[in-house]
């Protein structure tokens, strides 16, 4: 069975990553979402095992020591990490796995899994980002400015991603994301085995031809 693809989605807070991912997964059932582990406290609406696995710092650090994360990072004072076993199992079963993670984790994935597809989600412009953060009504001006400060740091890393996803309209944007994932799968870097086989088979055919030619002359 062909192994699934690893898709990493990062983006500015307020850019609409969650909504986009839900739209993508509704349209395409081959994707599954990895549930991360974190030491941050659950928000009111969050359920353990659905949004995150919520664990203590001690437990998280024990898992780091045991090498149980594909990647992990600290973000605003808390640990966040991707459990390795689930991702491996899904990829082995041929499912494509989406990780919704921040930039430090995404860059670790780039190193460890060179054929992962890295996508960065942004609003069309910063006015829209500000308006969306404000429109949530859950954060005060200071928190919004902190998130924009974080966005400025993240903006420096966008060049390391494969694709930038401009979230103008969710439905169309999810379709574009799917097209990007399909295109990424055809890149030579993600088909190294096929390229090697083509080269080897060509060499074999040419080698035989030369021998045959040699025998005839």
- The strand pair at 78-83 and 69-75 is best described as antiparallel
What residues between 35 and 64 interact with ligand 5GP by CB under 6 A? 36, 40
Which segment (72-80, 117-125, 134-142, 189-197) binds ligand 5GP by CB under 6 A?
A: 72-80
Indicate the residue whose CB is closest to ligand 5GP. 105
Residue 161 in the binding site for ligand 5GP (CB under 6 A): no
Q: How many CB atoms lie within 10 A of CB 151?
A: 20
**86 touches 35 (CB < 8 A):** yes
What residues between 82 and 141 interact with ligand 5GP by CB under 6 A? 82, 100-102, 104-105
**97 touches 83 (CB < 8 A):** no
Tell me the three state secondary structure of residue 212.
helix
The radius of gyration of the chain from alpha carbons, rounded to an integer in Å, stands at 22
Length of the chain: 217
Number of residues counted as binding ligand 5GP (CB under 6 A): 13
Residue 102: CB minimum distance to ligand 5GP, A: 4
Which residues of the shown chain bind ligand 5GP in the complex (CB under 6 A)? 36, 40, 71, 73, 75, 80-82, 100-102, 104-105
């Amino acid at each position: 069975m062909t192994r699934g693809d690893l898709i990493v989605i990062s983006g500015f807070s307020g850019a609409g990553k969650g909504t986009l991912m839900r739209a993508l997964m509704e349209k395409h059932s081959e994707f599954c979402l990895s549930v991360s582990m974190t030491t941050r406290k659950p928000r009111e609406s969050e359920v353990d095992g659905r949004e995150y696995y919520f664990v203590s710092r001690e437990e998280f650090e024990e898992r780091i020591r045991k090498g149980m994360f594909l990647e992990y990072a600290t973000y605003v004072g808390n640990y966040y990490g991707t459990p390795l076993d689930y991702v491996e199992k899904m990829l082995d079963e041929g499912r494509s796995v989406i990780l919704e993670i921040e930039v430090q984790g995404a860059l670790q994935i780039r190193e460890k899994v060179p054929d992962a597809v890295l996508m960065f989600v942004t609003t069309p412009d910063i006015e829209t980002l500000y308006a969306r953060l404000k429109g949530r009504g859950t954060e005060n001006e200071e928190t919004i400015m902190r998130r924009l400060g974080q966005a400025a740091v993240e903006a420096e890393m966008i060049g390391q991603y494969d694709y930038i996803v401009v979230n103008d309209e969710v439905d169309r944007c999810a379709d574009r994301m799917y097209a990007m994932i399909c295109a990424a799968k055809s890149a030579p870097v993600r088909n190294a085995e096929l390229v090697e086989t083509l080269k080897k088979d060509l060499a074999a055919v040419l080698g035989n031809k030369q021998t045959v030619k040699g025998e005839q002359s």
